[in-house]
Structure 1
């Protein structure tokens, strides 16, 4: 389910859970390809800085970060850490500030 709502990563996580799903886990190159435009996905390094994990424990070690990412910095919110992943139009992940409101993808 691709949402047209703009929520923080935390709100998006809860929204997906409330509808019996979770933020999408991009656990393969095939699943990672698509036409995306800055959607939150189910990855973060909230537990341990620099240790990226998918929202589903043990789901995958596949992370297709952009060549400049993760850098723990968000240009719009430079005073906040960037601990939540979103996918961009080129199919790569970026680390973003979790409080930023944007669309997201849920997976059942």
Structure 2
């Protein structure tokens, strides 16, 4: 009788082991699914939540945005958006203000639109910007020397790179001129010039694109 019951005992043991394995597998899958969902929620909150907040802020200044396709892969942010009348380049949007203001008022005007005076980081960016400008005017940049000691600094705290600068020849040349502008001087060249901050100039605003 004992020998006849042994196969049943073994079968029960195997069945219980299988049940345990299935139970562990189900629990593991459930936990992994929960982690994945939580990860998606967190990613959505930080990515789309911030985007939504930025869009909401911009809509207080602008009625509509223009978006441009910038990628096709699922892992990439596909659309880069700028407010209407702003020019897209790289990861930024640019606005050319034709209203003349002091340097500080120019910066306030940019801030009021969710931007700041332009910060030029590359020659390509410089070349793009000058294509948008009128040679008859000069435009304030987000570059200043508050102490008049030759320590120029960008408005967004980007370190001033001595290798990326586009001053006209022999500029800057006067410590009392503590703000920088970009201006066209003959014989046919755009460049930076140190300027009096309380001179009224046109200006260039820059903001980061919104990615959707």
- Shorter-chain TM range is 0.7 to 0.9
TM-score between the two structures when normalised by the length of structure 2: 0.45
Where does the alignment leave 5 or more consecutive residues of structure 2 unmatched?
Answer: 1-94, 208-212
The match for 1:77 is none
Q: Determine which of 17, 22, 40 is the counterpart of 2:140.
A: 40
Where does the alignment leave 5 or more consecutive residues of structure 1 unmatched?
Answer: 74-80
Q: Determine which of 168, 179, 186 is the counterpart of 1:66.
A: 168
1:28-75, CA deviations, whole angstroms, 9 ceiling, x for partnerless residues? Answer: 1111122433100100111452011111112551221111100126xx
Task: Please give the alpha-carbon distance, in whole angstroms, between the structure 2 residues aligned to 1:69 and 1:103.
Answer: 20
Q: Determine which of 101, 107, 110 is the counterpart of 1:7.
A: 101
- Give the structure with the larger strand fraction: 2
The match for 2:178 is 83
- Give the structure with the larger helix fraction: 2
Given that residues 27 and 59 in structure 1 are in contact (C-alpha distance below 8 angstroms), is that contact kept between their aligned partners in structure 2? Answer: no
Task: Please give the alpha-carbon distance, in whole angstroms, between the structure 1 residues aligned to 2:206 and 2:158.
Answer: 16
The match for 2:206 is 107
Aligned length: 101
Change (3 A) 1:39 1:49: same
After the TM superposition, list the runs of 4 or more consecutive aligned residues in structure 1 that deviate by more than 3 angstroms: none
Task: Please give the alpha-carbon distance, in whole angstroms, between the structure 2 residues aligned to 1:59 and 1:19.
Answer: 24
TM-score between the two structures when normalised by the length of structure 1: 0.85
Given that residues 32 and 91 in structure 1 are in contact (C-alpha distance below 8 angstroms), is that contact kept between their aligned partners in structure 2? Answer: no
